[in-house]
Structure 1
Amino acid sequence: MGNNHRQSRVAQEPSIDRRTVMKASAALGTLALSGATFGATGVKALPDGPEADEDTVALQMFHREWTEIESRIPDVADSGFDAIWVQQPAEMKLDWNDLTYDGTMGFYDEVGPYGHRDPHPPIGYQPVDLRNFDSSLGTEDELESLIETAHEHDIEVIVDTVLNHMADPVGPDGRIDWPQFDENEHFHNNGTLGDDCRVDGEAANYECDLLGLPSLDIEHPEVQSAHEAYIEKIASLGADGLRYDAAAHVWPWYFAENVNPLADDLDLWRVAEVWEESDIDRLLEWADTGMTVFDFPLHAAISDAFENGSMENLSQNAAPGVAHRDPSVAVTFVQNHDAVGPGVQPTDDAQTVPEGRAVELAEAFILAYAGMPMLYRSGPEEYHELEDEELSTLVTISKEFAHGEVIDRDVGIDHYVFEREGNLLTGINKGGQPRSVAVDSSWANTVLVDATGTGDDIEVDSSGKITVEIPAEGYVMYVEDADSIPAERGVSFDSLEYTVDEAESVDIGVTASAGDEPLTADVTLAVDGTEEATQSVDLDTESSTAVEFELGTADLDDGEYDLKVAIPDDSDTATLLVGSEADGGDLTLRTTVDVGYGQSVYFTGSTDELTDWGGGIEGTWSEGNVWEVTIADPGEFEWKTRRGPSGETGDVWERGDNHDHTDLEPSHQGWADDD
Structure 2
Amino acid sequence: MKRIIAQLFNGLLLMAIIASCSDDTKLEEQRKHSNKKATDPFSDVTRTDENINERNPGPGGGIIMQAFYWDVPAGGTWYQTIESKISDWDAAGVSAIWLPPVSKAMNGPNSMGYDPFDYFDFGDYDQQGSVETRFGSRTELESLINTAHQYDIEVYADIVLNHNSGGDLEANPFTGTDTYTDYNPASGKFYRSASDFHPNAVVGSDEGVFGGFPDLSHSTSYVQDWLWNRSDGVGKYYRDELGFDGWRFDYVKGFGGWVVREWMNNVGGFAVGEYWDGNAQLLQDWVNSTNRTASAFDFACYYRMDEAFDGNDLTKLQGDMLWKRDAAKAVTFVTNHDTDEIWDKMHAYAYIFTHEGYPTLFYQDYEEWLDQDKLDNLMWIHRNLATGGTDILYADNDEYVARRNGNPGIVVYLNDSNQWLERWVPTNWGNSVIKDYTGNSNWEPTTQNDQWVKIQCPPNSYTVWSLK
CA distance in 2, matches of 1:231, 1:458: 53
Please state whether the residue corresponding to 2:194 is helix, strand or coil. Answer: coil
* Corresponding position of 1:61: 67
CA distance in 2, matches of 1:168, 1:416: 50
Shift of residue 279 of structure 1?
4.5
Shift of residue 384 of structure 1?
2.4
* Corresponding position of 1:600: none
* Corresponding position of 1:295: 298
Shift of residue 472 of structure 1?
0.8
Residues 1:205 and 2:204 aligned together:
no
Shift of residue 255 of structure 1?
2.4
CA distance in 2, matches of 1:372, 1:334: 12
* Distance change in 2, residues 1:151/1:262 (3 Å): same
* Corresponding position of 1:140: 138
* Corresponding position of 2:311: 308
* Corresponding position of 1:276: 277
**Alignment match of 1:366 (pick from 327, 352, 372):** 352
Residues 1:47 and 2:36 aligned together:
no
* Corresponding position of 1:188: 198
In the alignment, is the contact (CA less than 8 A) between 2:55 and 2:95 conserved in 1? no
Shift of residue 386 of structure 1?
9.1
Shift of residue 46 of structure 1?
7.5
CA distance in 2, matches of 1:362, 1:263: 34
CA distance in 2, matches of 1:45, 1:386: 28
* Distance change in 2, residues 1:385/1:86 (3 Å): farther
* Distance change in 2, residues 1:168/1:312 (3 Å): farther
CA distance in 1, matches of 2:457, 2:168: 54
* Corresponding position of 1:162: 160
* Distance change in 2, residues 1:321/1:406 (3 Å): same
* Distance change in 2, residues 1:377/1:69 (3 Å): closer
CA distance in 1, matches of 2:347, 2:289: 30
* Distance change in 2, residues 1:169/1:46 (3 Å): farther
CA distance in 1, matches of 2:371, 2:453: 34
CA distance in 1, matches of 2:213, 2:61: 37
Matches within 5 A, 1:487-506: none
CA distance in 2, matches of 1:386, 1:330: 24
* Corresponding position of 1:235: 239
Root-mean-square deviation (CA, aligned residues, Å) is 2.8
Matches within 5 A, 1:68-147: 68-95=81-108, 98=110, 123-134=112-123, 135-147=133-145
Shift of residue 223 of structure 1?
1.2
Structure having the larger proportion of residues in strand: 1
Structure having the larger proportion of residues in helix: 2
* Corresponding position of 1:416: 400
* Distance change in 2, residues 1:213/1:377 (3 Å): same
CA distance in 1, matches of 2:340, 2:334: 8
Shift of residue 181 of structure 1?
3.6
For 1:93, give the aligned amino acid. M
Matches within 5 A, 1:334-413: 334-343=334-343, 358-378=344-364, 383-384=367-368, 388-413=372-397
Q: Which has the higher contact order (CA 8 A, sep 6+)?
A: 2
Deviation string, structure 1 residues 559-580 (Cα, Å, up to 9, x no partner): xxxxxxxxxxxxxxxxxxxxxx
> Max radius of gyration: which structure?
1
CA distance in 2, matches of 1:452, 1:149: 31
The count of aligned residue pairs is: 375
Please state whether the residue corresponding to 2:196 is helix, strand or coil. Answer: coil
In the alignment, is the contact (CA less than 8 A) between 1:430 and 1:474 conserved in 2? yes
* Distance change in 2, residues 1:297/1:260 (3 Å): same
CA distance in 2, matches of 1:82, 1:48: 7
CA distance in 2, matches of 1:286, 1:145: 36
Please state whether the residue corresponding to 1:454 is helix, strand or coil. Answer: coil
Please state whether the residue corresponding to 1:205 is helix, strand or coil. Answer: coil
**Alignment match of 1:261 (pick from 240, 262, 265):** 265
Please state whether the residue corresponding to 1:81 is helix, strand or coil. Answer: coil
CA distance in 2, matches of 1:183, 1:420: 53
Please state whether the residue corresponding to 2:260 is helix, strand or coil. Answer: helix
Deviation string, structure 1 residues 370-393 (Cα, Å, up to 9, x no partner): 1110111437xx922797111101
For 2:438, give the aligned amino acid. T
What is the aligned-residue identity percentage? 26
* Corresponding position of 1:521: none
Deviation string, structure 1 residues 98-146 (Cα, Å, up to 9, x no partner): 4xxxxxxxxxxxxxxxxxxxxxxx7011111012111221112211110
* Corresponding position of 2:431: 445
CA distance in 1, matches of 2:342, 2:288: 28
Please state whether the residue corresponding to 1:459 is helix, strand or coil. Answer: coil
CA distance in 2, matches of 1:369, 1:212: 39
* Corresponding position of 1:462: 449
Structure 1 gap ranges (5+)? 1-16, 20-43, 99-121, 191-197, 344-357, 482-675
For 2:146, give the aligned amino acid. E
TM-score by length of 1: 0.52
* Corresponding position of 1:104: none
* Corresponding position of 1:246: 251
**Alignment match of 1:150 (pick from 148, 160, 164):** 148
CA distance in 1, matches of 2:79, 2:120: 18
Shift of residue 286 of structure 1?
3.5
Please state whether the residue corresponding to 2:197 is helix, strand or coil. Answer: coil
Structure 2 gap ranges (5+)? 1-46, 124-132, 170-179, 185-189
* Corresponding position of 1:475: 462
CA distance in 2, matches of 1:386, 1:432: 20
Please state whether the residue corresponding to 1:409 is helix, strand or coil. Answer: strand
* Distance change in 2, residues 1:123/1:322 (3 Å): same
Matches within 5 A, 1:614-633: none
Shift of residue 402 of structure 1?
1.2
Deviation string, structure 1 residues 234-288 (Cα, Å, up to 9, x no partner): 11212111111112212222222x2110222xxx111111112115242342353
CA distance in 1, matches of 2:381, 2:362: 18
